[in-house]
Amino acid sequence: MVYENPDGVMIGLEVHVQLNKLNSKLFCGCSTDYHNDEPNTHVCPVCMGLPGSLPVLNKKAVEYAIRIGLALNCEIIEQTQFHRKNYYYPDLPKGFQTTQYDFPIVGNGKIVIDGEDGEHVVRITRAHMEEDPGKLMHIGHIEKSKGTLIDYNRSGMALVEIVTEPDMRSPKEARRFLDKLRNILEYLDVFNGTLEGAMRVDANISIGGGDRIEIKNISSHKGAERALLYEIMRQKNLVRRGGTVVMETRHFDEARGVTISMRTKEEEHDYRYFPEPDLVPIRVSDWVEGIRETLPELPDARRKRFVSDYNVADTHAKALTSDIRVADFYESVAKEVDPVIAAAWVADILKGELNYRDLGISAFKVEDLVEIIDLVTSGKITEKSGVDVIRTILDEGGSPESIVEKKGLIKVEGDIVSQAISESLKENPEALQDFLAGKEKSLNFLVGQVMKKTRGRADARSVRELLIHEIDEKYR
């Protein structure tokens, strides 16, 4: 089956990835661990752009950028350089952003994604390093805000901007690309995608060879898909009404799910790029092979290894490796129990239950799943009960053991107790009649009989409840 792309949609992405696994910012020693701290507490003269301060390039950030380039099958430039991108904005403390221009560190690569019609190649144009600006917080709504607060904690965080060719043919492919990219970046251990602002996306889209529209301010993969779906609908409607799409930049309003015009081509900035005089060009060609050797296992390789080492189905292997945390979780479980059974539990059951609740794998403990799988495989509880235990842990908490006990899920013990109850009732009709006639005390006698039959392995209080239940069902 070949995807026809009926509307002639072409989508290219610019993805800003924050290298938040670095210890310090791109050009100064400030800590990157600011997410839970007060505003403007992770700042210094350099990232505040105070007069006279100078940048010093974080070598580790350069290594991370090279790592990303290698993982995206890209070329690494021999000598890289920084430029200044000049524009005025209050979140930009120097009045320019230090970024890369005509000598980006990474060029020319590709990622293979699950496209509309199977494997689909998305070409990477380039990836470059730059600094993150600060963050504005508007008091009230952006359009009629009474004031704006600026937090420079984020200012100077290292970003890598990854730019693709317009190779995606649908919003779904764009989302798949982002999912895959995020997964690779997490495997590389350069980035934690769960932190706020870790990945920000600008999308370029054209339809049927028309003008290109840029959508800015997309902060999630789901948001990218929604923004693009909206944009396709908007452009098609516009053309249907006789309008023409003209090149412009639009802003995605996540809350309303719409894109809003920001500026047309005539209003585009002239950024007046020129080489950053405070940083010298750096030769990185000698670093590349060393970094390549330390590159961790990437998703596609891990998927293959799961098939060969654990003998799991490829569909399972793919599902398990599409998030490094799930893959790590699986491997921990697979060490303790049969890997094939573990794969089914993680990929088919646990992932589904987590997705349904919008939770990550960290919401579940490896030991708990191991215990549940043990209970099922040893025949103590049914598979259905196992699923029940997972759901209960996620919804109410507790350990598998306590849940099994509380819910009486143990197959064998449950049978013994119910058998003892029905025998006791049959063997003691007088006591039963007394109880039915309102003599509460005769219930104690019946409980005693059941306890005797089960040799004390049953819980007296639950026996009491089960007896009442049984009497209500069968004898009233």
Partner 1 sequence: MPETIKQVKEKIANSSAEDVISSYLEKIRRSSINGFIYVAENALDQAKAIDSGNNGGALAGVPIAIKDNISTIGMPTTCGSKILQGYVPPYDAHVIERLKAEGAIILGKVNMDEFAMGTSTETSYYGPTLNPWDTERVPGGSSGGSAAVVAAGEAPVSLGSDTGGSVRCPAAFCGVVGLKPTYGGVSRYGLVSYANSLEQIGPLANSVEDIATLMDVIGTYDHRDSTCVNRDINYRSSLEDDVSGMKIGIPKEYFGEGIDEKVEEKVWDAIGKFEELGATYTEISLPNTKYALAAYYIIAMSEASSNLARFDGTRYGPRSEGENWHMMASKTRHECFGAEVQRRILLGTYALSAGYHDKYYLKALKVRTLVKEDFDRAFSDVDVMMAPTMPSPAFKLGEKMEDPLSLYLSDVNTVPVNLSGVPSISVPCGLADGLPVGLQIIGKHFDEAGILKAAYTFEKNTHHHMNTAGEVI
Which residues form the interface with partner 1 (CB under 8 A)? 45, 48-57, 84, 86, 88, 90, 93-96, 148, 150, 270, 272, 274, 277-280
Q: How far is the CB of 56 from partner 1 (least distance, A)?
A: 6
Count CA within 13 A, CB hemisphere, residue 167: 20
Please give the helix or strand (H or E) that residue 107 lies within, else none. Answer: strand 106-115
Q: How far is the CB of 227 from partner 1 (least distance, A)?
A: 26
Neighbours of 23 (CB within 10 A): 11
Nearer Cβ to partner 1 (45/243): 45
Nearer Cβ to partner 1 (93/115): 93
Neighbours of 12 (CB within 10 A): 21
Nearer Cβ to partner 1 (21/84): 84
CA gap 434, 145 in Å, rounded: 77
Residue 58, C-beta contacts closer than 8 angstroms, at least 6 positions apart: 22, 24, 25, 26, 27, 158
Neighbours of 54 (CB within 10 A): 11
Q: How far is the CB of 133 from partner 1 (least distance, A)?
A: 13
Q: What DSSP letter does each residue of 327-367 carry, written as one string?
A: HHHHHHHHHHS-HHHHHIIIIIIIHHHHHHTT--GGGS-HH
Closest by CA to 122, choosing from 162, 160, 161, is 162
Residue 144, C-beta contacts closer than 8 angstroms, at least 6 positions apart: none
- SS3 percent helix, strand, coil of the chain, rounded to 5, is 40, 20, 35
Q: How far is the CB of 288 from partner 1 (least distance, A)?
A: 22
Positive or negative CA dihedral for 140, 142, 146, 150?
positive
Count of residues for the chain? 476
Q: How far is the CB of 203 from partner 1 (least distance, A)?
A: 25
CA gap 193, 200 in Å, rounded: 10
Q: How far is the CB of 102 from partner 1 (least distance, A)?
A: 12
CA gap 103, 273 in Å, rounded: 12
Nearer Cβ to partner 1 (94/126): 94
Q: How far is the CB of 94 from partner 1 (least distance, A)?
A: 5
Nearer Cβ to partner 1 (52/397): 52
Nearer Cβ to partner 1 (52/242): 52
Nearer Cβ to partner 1 (39/360): 39
Q: How far is the CB of 47 from partner 1 (least distance, A)?
A: 12
Nearer Cβ to partner 1 (148/422): 148
